[in-house]
Amino acid sequence: MRTIMLATVVALAPVAVHAQGSQFEHYQKMVAEGSPAELFAVEGEALWKKPQGPKHASLEKCDLGRGPGVLKGAYARLPRYFKDADRVMDLETRLLYCMETLQGRDRKEALKRPFGNADKPSEMEYLSAYIALQSRGFKLNPGLSHPKEREAYELGKALFHTRTGLWDFSCTTCHGTPGKRIRSSELPVLDDPKTVRPLMATWPAYRVSNSTFKTMQWRINDCFRQMRTPEPDFGSETVNAVNMFLTATARGATYRGPGTKR
Amino acid sequence: MTTKLILGAGLAALLLPAAASGEPTDREVQAIMKRDFHPHGQATMDRLDQDAVQRVCTDTRNKPPAELAKTLEADQYKTIRFPEGSLLGDWKKGAAIAWSGRGMQWQDDPKKPSGGGCYNCHEIGPERTSFGTIGPSLKQFGKLRGNTPGMQRYVYGKIYNAKAYSLCSEMPRFGYTRSLTEQQMKDLTAYLLDPASPVNK
Amino acid sequence: MPGPMKMRATLAAGYTDVRVLMSHPMETGQRKGPDGKPVPMHFIQNVTVKVNGKTVIEGQTSQAVSRNPVFAFRLKGGQKGDKIEISWRDNEGESNSTEAAVA
Amino acid sequence: MSLDRRRMLRSAGALGALLVAGLLKPLAALAAWNKDAFTAKTVDGALKGLGVAGSEPNGGLTLDAPQIAENGAVVPIEISSSIPGTTSIAVVIEKNPFPLASKFDFMEGALPFVRLNVKMGETSHVRVIATAGGKSYTASKEVKVTIGGCGG
Angle between helices B26-36 and B2-11 (to 10 degrees): 70
Q: Count other C-beta atoms under 10 Å from residue D103's C-beta.
A: 25
Domain ranges of chain C: 5-101
pLDDT over 70 at A207, yes or no: yes
Q: Find all residues with CB under 8 Å of D15, minimum gap 6, and list them.
A: D24
Contact A15, D62 (CB under 8 A): yes
What is the SS3 assignment for A52?
Answer: strand
For residues A16 and A35, what is the distance between their CA atoms, to the nearest angstrom? 20
Q: How confident is the model at residue D11 (pLDDT cuts 50, 70, 90)?
A: very low
Cβ contacts from B onto D, under 8 A: 25
A18 with D64: Cβ contact below 8 A: yes
Chain C neighbors of A42, CB-CB under 8 A: 4, 6
Q: Determine the CATH number of domain C5-101.
A: 2.60.40.10
CA-based nearest distance C53→chain A, Å: 23
User: What is the residue-level pLDDT of chain B in tens, covering all 201 positions?
Assistant: 334 334 333 333 333 334 445 789 989 999 999 999 999 999 999 999 999 999 999 999 999 999 999 999 999 999 999 999 999 999 999 999 999 999 999 999 999 999 999 999 999 999 998 999 999 999 999 999 999 999 999 999 999 999 999 999 999 999 999 999 999 999 999 999 999 999 999
Picking from C15, C46, C61, the nearest residue to D31 by CB comes out as C46
- Whether residue D56 is predicted with pLDDT greater than 90 in this model: the reply is yes
More confident residue, A37 or B83: B83
D79 pLDDT exceeds 60?
Answer: yes
pLDDT tens, C5-33? 989 899 988 899 999 999 999 999 988 88
Q: Which of C19, C39, C68 to mutate to test the interface with A (most CBs of A within 10 A)?
A: C68
Give the count of domains, chain D: 1
Residue of chain A whose Cα is closest to the Cα of D66 = A27
Does the structure show a pLDDT above 90 at D140?
A: yes
Q: Is residue D105 part of a domain?
A: yes
Nearest Cα to Cα of residue B80 among B191, B187, B189, B162: B162
**φ, ψ (nearest 5 deg) of residue A100:** -75, -45
Mean of the per-residue pLDDT values for chain A? 90
A67 touches chain D (CB under 8 A): no
Residue D64 belongs to some domain of the structure: yes
Q: Do D106 and C56 touch (CB under 8 A)?
A: yes
Interface check D150 vs B, CB under 8 A: yes
Of B155, B158, B159, B129, give the one whose Cα is nearest residue B144.
Answer: B155
Is residue A150 predicted with pLDDT exceeding 50? yes
Closest residue in chain D to residue C74, using alpha carbons only: D111
Q: How far is B160 from chain A (nearest CA, A)?
A: 12
What pLDDT score was predicted for residue D25? 43
Is residue A171 annotated as a catalytic residue, yes or no?
Answer: no
Task: Taking residues A137-164, report their average pLDDT.
Answer: 97
Provide CB contacts within 8 A for A9, sequence distance 6+. Answer: none
When pLDDT is averaged across residues D126-137 and rounded to a whole number, the result is: 96
Residues of C in contact with D116 (CB under 8 A): 65-66, 69-72
Q: Look at residue D21 and tell me if it is in a domain.
A: no
Torsion over CA of B38, B42, B46 and B52, rounded to 10 degrees? -130
Cβ contact, residue pair A34, C72, below 8 Å:
yes
With left for phi above 0 and alpha for psi between -120 and 50, is residue C81 left, alpha or beta? left
Q: Which residues pair with D129 in a beta bridge?
A: D90, D138
The model's pLDDT over C53-88, given as tens digits with 9 standing for 90+, comes to: 999 999 999 999 999 999 999 999 999 999 999 999
Domain map of chain A by residue range? 34-261
The predicted structure's pLDDT at residue B73 = 98
- Of A233, A228, A232, A240, the C-alpha closest to A164 is A228
pLDDT at D27: 44
Pairing of strands C83-90, D86-93: unpaired
CA gap A80, A153 in Å, rounded: 10
Report the complex ipTM.
Answer: 0.80
User: Looking at residue D96, which CATH number applies to its domain?
Assistant: 2.60.40.2470
What is the pLDDT of chain C when averaged over all its residues? 93
For A34-261, which CATH class? mainly alpha
Identify which of A11, A35, A118 has the shortest CB distance to residue C70.
A35
Amino acid found at B173: R
Measured from the Cβ of residue C57, the count of other Cβ atoms closer than 10 Å reads 25
For D17-30, the pLDDT digits (tens) are 444 444 444 444 44
Question: What is the per-residue pLDDT across A230-248, written as a single tens digit (0 to 9) for each?
Answer: 999 999 999 999 999 999 9
- pLDDT of D13 higher than 90: no
What confidence tens digit (pLDDT) does each residue in D90-106 have? 999 999 999 999 999 99
pLDDT of residue D151: 64
What is the distance in angstroms between the Cα of A198 and the nearest Cα belonging to chain D?
18
**pLDDT computed for residue D9 by the predictor:** 41
